[in-house]
Amino acid sequence: MPDSHRDNNQRKGAPRLPGETCCGCGACSATCPTGSIEMLPDSLGFLRPSVKADRCVSCGRCESVCPSLHPRAEKDTVLGAFWAKGVDGEELAASSSGGIFGLIARKVLTEGGAVYGAVWTEGWRVEHARIDNASELHHLRKSKYVQSSVGPDVYASVRCDLAAGRQVLYSGTGCQIAALRSYLEGSACDNLLCAEIICHGVPSPKLWQLYVGWLEQRRGERLSGFSFREKEPEWERYSVRADFSDGSSWQVPYMDCWYMAAFMSDLPLRPSCHVCPFKRRSGSDVVLGDFWGIGGLDLGIGIREGVSAVVANTEKGLFAVQGLEDCRRGEVEYGEILAGNRSLELPAPVPERKPAFLKELEEASDLSPFISRWDFVPSRRAVWRGRIKKIKTVASECGTARTVAVFVKIAGKAVVLMAKGADKETLQKMAQVAVEELREKKRGGDS
Ligand SMILES: Cc1cc2nc3c(=O)[nH]c(=O)nc-3n(C[C@H](O)[C@H](O)[C@H](O)COP(=O)(O)OP(=O)(O)OC[C@H]3O[C@@H](n4cnc5c(N)ncnc54)[C@H](O)[C@@H]3O)c2cc1C
Ligand code: SF4
Ligand code: SF4
Ligand code: SF4
């Protein structure tokens, strides 16, 4: 945090807002009646509140609204858990997972409502914005792995839409949902549907800006489009794509993209994400994510185009999911979603090398030397060696020699799940299914 901002927050009578645990939601700024709080980037690009002490009237509203100071005590209830995917191939291709956000949004828009979500803006920044027309939906679609900023105008606009009796779909990370709920405390929210996206954490906006500069410098062209989630060759093995002003493009498997590999390492995540108090406590109606590990459940559905994991927390959320047309879905156990997606409940652990990484990032002005020092993209040989080692370890922990043999047989599938973070239980289940299949085959051969 720049010193001038820190000084401001420490003046006598100034509010006591959180330091490291601030999630950057901007609710304090939106709530301040005297416009005394500006959200400014710290040395890693994360937005933090800066209080103009001369304007502050010490009313304390910013402290009361802050979701990090007052996390919700109540845990979100699971009313239903589902796998779901849209049936329209084009819409599926245009979304990150099973396209369920787009389906809910389209319904709200068709009924005259407004939808809020994260969009790219000038200079490859990400902000929350409002749309009220389905032709604008593509701006909100797809995960942008950069923290989205939510300005005071967005909070005010949601309040205005609700006051006008309009239906509102608000999508965002758990902290953004908790912040909105806190901001709207006391307002009528019957028409509000909050869709939380499962959140692994948000990486440093400074890192992203440096990465954009690095890409453009290497190519000698301006970036004209960027997608973190291209379902090429398939959803589970997605790729990252950059388009340039001369019409050329660059597409690589996600782990061959330095920025994505850095994101997955947890090193550049916002410090508050490591102690996130919003997991299963955001106050959302429905949670949407990738159904990682669904292949192991053997549900007999096609998964190459993407499948969403959906958790309904409220009757409103359940109704929204069950009322969806143009989609296939089925009930699952909540634990089956959690097995492949620990981010649903657990914050990312703090990597040992994080302080060193952040210190260097604070000082970095050019990514090239930084990339060579922090090489996240191992050689393919090293990747395979690591995967095989992992398989052997899990297999030996899991049991029989036959299980090991089966693991080797289904290694192709297993490594994909492992790379996606599938845990031991999911892999064990896969192995059991495969063992049963082998037994079945043997019985068939014996008779
Ligand atoms: C930073 C980040 C981390 C994530 N981590 C996980 C994870 O660990 N596990 C998991 O299963 N899923 C995670 N997701 C969610 C997942 O990638 C999909 O966004 C989700 O499954 C919805 O997909 P969809 O096909 O239904 O909709 P899509 O059409 O892909 O819709 C994207 C939705 O995400 C919102 N969104 C996009 N970028 C941002 C952003 N930067 N900040 C806030 N909202 C944003 C949009 O507003 C929209 O609601 C993460 C998403 C983000 C942005
Ligand atoms: S205490 Fe009141 S006036 Fe001062 S910054 Fe907070 S909300 Fe604004
Ligand atoms: S309201 Fe949000 S941005 Fe403001 S201090 Fe709290 S967590 Fe940080
Ligand atoms: S991990 Fe938690 S604090 Fe970090 S962006 Fe996600 S919901 Fe917000």
- The CATH number linked to 60 is 3.30.70.20
Q: Which of 65, 89, 114 is the last residue of a domain?
A: 65
The answer to whether 24 touches 272, Cβ cutoff 8 Å, is yes
Q: Provide the pLDDT for residue 14.
A: 82
Say how many domains are in the chain.
Answer: 3
How does residue 298 score in pLDDT terms, banded at 50, 70 and 90? confident
Alpha carbons 388 and 84: distance in angstroms, whole number: 32
> What ligand 4 atom has the least distance to the C-alpha of 273?
4
Atom of ligand 4 nearest to the CA of 174: 7
Contacts of 392 (CB under 8 A, 6+ apart): 404
Q: Average the pLDDT over each of 121-125, 233-237, 310-314 and give the range with the smallest value.
A: 233-237
pLDDT band at 7 (very low <50, low <70, confident <90, very high): very low
Q: Are residues 382 and 418 in the same domain?
A: yes
Beta strands 168-172 and 223-230, pairing class:
unpaired
Which pLDDT does position 447 carry in this prediction?
Answer: 39
Distance from the CA of 210 to the center of ligand 1, in angstroms? 22
Q: Is 178 in the pocket of ligand 3 (CB under 6 A)?
A: no
Task: Answer yes or no: is pLDDT of 1 > 60.
Answer: no
Q: Taking the C-alpha atoms of 123, 125, 128 and 133 in order, what is their torsion angle to the nearest 10 degrees?
A: 40
| Ligand 1 atom 8 nearest Cα | 200
Measuring from atom 5 of ligand 4, which residue has the nearest CA?
201
Indicate if 57 and 85 belong to the same structural domain: no
243/120 Cα distance (integer angstroms): 14
DSSP SS3 for 272: helix
pLDDT in tens, 204-223: 999 999 999 999 999 999 99
CA of 53 to the centre of ligand 2 (A): 9
The alpha carbon of 179 and the centre of ligand 3 are apart by a number of angstroms equal to: 8
Q: How far is CA 174 from the centre of its chain?
A: 9
Q: Which domain holds residue 159?
A: 80-202+269-344
- Ligand 2 atom at minimum distance from 37 CA: 5
Closest residue by Cα to residue 251 from 221, 280, 287, 225:
225
Q: State whether 90 and 169 are in the same domain.
A: yes
Looking up tokens 């919700």 gives 72
Q: What is the 3-state secondary structure (H, E, C) of 172-200?
A: ECHHHHHHHHHHCCCCCCCCEEEEEECCC
Among protein residues, the one whose CA lies closest to atom 42 of ligand 1:
148
Ligand 3 centre from 39 Cα, in Å?
9
Shared domain for 51 and 27, answered yes or no, is: yes
Instruction: Give the number of other CB atoms < 10 A from CB of residue 192.
Output: 21
Question: Residue 323: how many CB atoms within 10 A of its CB?
Answer: 9
**Ligand 4 contact via 174 beta carbon (within 6 Å):** yes
CA of 67 to the centre of ligand 3 (A): 7
- pLDDT score for 442: 53
Q: What is the pTM of this model?
A: 0.86
Contact present, 151 and 96 (Cβ < 8 Å): no
Same-domain pairing of 40 and 139? no
The DSSP code for 9 is H
The two tokens of residue 62 are 């910013």
Looking at ligand 3, which atom is closest to the CA of residue 68? 7
Q: Say whether the peptide bond before residue 233 is cis (omega within 30 degrees of 0).
A: yes
Exposed/middle/buried for residue 237 (C-beta within 10 Å: 0-12, 13-18, 19+) = middle
Q: Are residues 284 and 385 in the same domain?
A: no
DSSP state of 270: -
Average pLDDT value for residue range 253-275: 95
Identify whether 249 is part of a domain.
Answer: no
The string of pLDDT tens digits covering residues 371-423 is 988 987 655 666 666 666 666 665 555 555 445 554 555 555 555 455 445 56
Torsion of CA 171, 100, 254, 418, to 10 degrees: 110
Task: Identify whether residues 403 and 334 lie together within a single domain.
Answer: no
State how far the alpha carbon of 105 is from the alpha carbons of 9, 84, 112, 113, 288, in Å: 39, 15, 11, 9, 13
Which one of 65, 91, 112 terminates a domain?
65
